[in-house]
Amino acid sequence: MTNLFSTPAQTDFDLWVKLKQARIEAVLDQILPSAQTLPTDLHSAMRYSILGGGKRVRALLCYAAAELYCPQSSSTNITITDIAACALELIHAYSLVHDDMPCMDNDDLRRGKPSCHKQYDDATALLVGDALQSLAFSILSKTDLTNNAQQQLLMLNLLANASGSQGMAGGQAIDLAAVGKPLTQDKLETMHRLKTGALIEVAVLLGANSAIYSANPNNKDSLALRVFAGNIGLAFQVVDDILDVEADSNTLGKTTGKDAENNKPTYVTLLGLMQAKAYAQQLHTEALLALTPFSEQAQRLQQLANFIMNRSF
Ligand code: GRG
């Protein structure tokens, strides 16, 4: 419901978020094999794990970054930006399914419902993660997606690196190894820049590269976007640590207090609540500063940065 005191810009942003969330849901629904397709249990579990939930922050960042370069169409044709946004959500959903398994974070609740291995079983959850990941690379590598193979290769390479051992999976490995051990702020930051930040950063880069392909991935725009996304990715994690302490399970849709229970170092345990909030604020400010060269074209990215900071779930 629109807040009585919302500004027109906020209402416009809320509407944009809803439209994009609905769009991503529809495209995901279309690209996922139906629950009647063999093997039916696996496909049903894949659909259970990705449809009908999640804030879709990575997809939204991808759309917002594409809007830096061209207005996004609301037509029913599926675009390369849609596919990039779906690929990001598929990788993200795979990571959540695996993260919830008993061999990792052992969580029974995800997006307000039983996590995949609880609803199905461990073996199915393992395969769901594997298959969601493969599907992400399959849709982004389709030969009829663009007529620019270099652009697609660059996007595939960025996504593979962000998800792999020097990105998200590497961050998860550091996280698992750190349970019960004191970590310095530097080490905690390295872990989160990989575990959560890498996929958030690549969401922005894929969005930009889906709209304007540059043969040089280190051009001025990409560097500025990396600074924006790196800061907002870390802010996302600091806010996550704060919510783990301050929010309740119903609002979050996942078990709260897990970090303390698992004896995991967090920004709150390391810095205290007040300092953690101040640090999130500092990262947010630095993220917005990095958008300066883009002027009003960056409005959606700015709004998303605010959304990430102010989220309560
Ligand atoms: C298993 C390879 C592998 C990696 C797992 C991302 C991750 C790595 C684990 C998730 C653990 C976790 C709760 C991290 C905190 C930040 C985070 C990624 C929260 C969940 O993302 P949201 O809030 O979730 O965007 P929704 O449900 O909205 O999509």
With tokens 């209402």, the residue in question is 11
Q: Does ligand 1 lie within 6 Å of residue 196's CB atom?
A: yes
pLDDT for 180 equals: 82
pLDDT for 1 equals: 44
Q: Indicate if the pLDDT at residue 160 is higher than 90.
A: yes
Q: Indicate if the pLDDT at residue 220 is higher than 50.
A: yes
Q: Indicate if the pLDDT at residue 143 is higher than 80.
A: yes
102 upstream amide cis, omega within 30 of 0: no
Assess contact for 290 and 227: CB atoms under 8 A.
Answer: yes
Domain ranges across the chain:
10-309
pLDDT for 216 equals: 79
Proportion of the chain above pLDDT 90, given as a percent: 79
pLDDT for 192 equals: 94
pLDDT for 301 equals: 97
Q: Does ligand 1 lie within 6 Å of residue 101's CB atom?
A: no
d(CA 119, CA 197): 29
pLDDT for 247 equals: 78
pLDDT for 74 equals: 74
Q: Which atom of ligand 1 is nearest to the CA of 311?
A: 23
Mean pLDDT of 79-87: 97
pLDDT for 173 equals: 96
Mean pLDDT of 24-40: 98
Phi then psi for 200, rounded to 5 degrees? Answer: -70, -40
Average the pLDDT over each of 9-13, 70-74, 125-129 and give the range with the smallest value: 70-74
Q: If you write DSSP's letter for every residue of the chain in order, what string do you get?
A: ---TT--HHHHHHHHHHHHHHHHHHHHHHHHSPPTTSSSHHHHHHHHHHHTT-S--HHHHHHHHHHTTTSPPP-SSSPPHHHHHHHHHHHHHHHHHHHHTSTTTT--SEETTEE-HHHHS-HHHHHHHHHHHHHHHHHHHT-TTS-S-HHHHHHHHHHHHHHHSTTTHHHHHHHHHHHTTS---HHHHHHHHIIIIIHHHHHHHHHHHHHHS--S-TTSHHHHHHHHHHHHHHHHHHHHHHHHHHHS-HHHHTS-SSHHHHTT---HHHHH-HHHHHHHHHHHHHHHHHHTGGGGGGGHHHHHHHHHHHH---
The fold for domain 10-309 equals Farnesyl Diphosphate Synthase (1.10.600)
Average the pLDDT over each of 3-7, 47-51, 130-134, 193-197 and give the range with the smallest value: 3-7
Q: Does ligand 1 lie within 6 Å of residue 169's CB atom?
A: yes
Q: Indicate if the pLDDT at residue 36 is higher than 50.
A: yes
Q: Does ligand 1 lie within 6 Å of residue 240's CB atom?
A: yes
Q: Does ligand 1 lie within 6 Å of residue 162's CB atom?
A: no
Q: Does ligand 1 lie within 6 Å of residue 284's CB atom?
A: no
d(CA 161, CA 143): 21
**Packing angle, helices 80-99 and 198-211, rounded to 10:** 170
Q: Indicate if the pLDDT at residue 284 is higher than 80.
A: yes
Where does the pLDDT of residue 5 fall: very low under 50, low under 70, confident under 90, or very high at 90 and above?
A: low
With tokens 């998200």, the residue in question is 168
Mean pLDDT of 205-234: 91
Average the pLDDT over each of 16-30, 51-65, 261-275 and give the range with the smallest value: 261-275
d(CA 91, CA 155): 14
Mean pLDDT of 27-53: 98
The residue whose CA has the least distance to atom 10 of ligand 1 is 96
d(CA 189, CA 206): 23
d(CA 85, CA 202): 10
Ligand 1 centroid–CA 19 distance in Å is: 23
Where does the pLDDT of residue 264 fall: very low under 50, low under 70, confident under 90, or very high at 90 and above?
A: confident
Q: Which atom of ligand 1 is nearest to the CA of 104?
A: 1
Q: Which residues, 6+ apart, have CB-to-CB distance to 233 below 8 Å?
A: 192, 193, 196, 197, 198, 199, 200, 201
Query: β-strand 109-110 against 113-114: which pairing, if any?
Result: antiparallel
Mean pLDDT of 205-229: 90
Q: Indicate if the pLDDT at residue 64 is higher than 60.
A: yes
Q: What is the CA radius of gyration of the chain?
A: 19
Q: Does ligand 1 lie within 6 Å of residue 111's CB atom?
A: yes
- pTM comes to 0.94
Q: Indicate if the pLDDT at residue 112 is higher than 80.
A: yes
Report the b/e string of 39-58 with b at 16+ CB within 10 A.
eeebbbbbbbbbeebbebbb
Q: Indicate if the pLDDT at residue 2 is higher than 90.
A: no
Q: Which residues, 6+ apart, have CB-to-CB distance to 21 below 8 Å?
A: 55, 56, 59, 60
Q: Does ligand 1 lie within 6 Å of residue 57's CB atom?
A: yes
Q: Indicate if the pLDDT at residue 77 is higher than 50.
A: yes
Ligand 1 centroid–CA 4 distance in Å is: 32
What sign has the CA pseudo-torsion 262, 234, 210, 28?
Answer: positive
Mean pLDDT of all residues belonging to the chain: 92
pLDDT for 166 equals: 97
Q: Indicate if the pLDDT at residue 175 is higher than 80.
A: yes
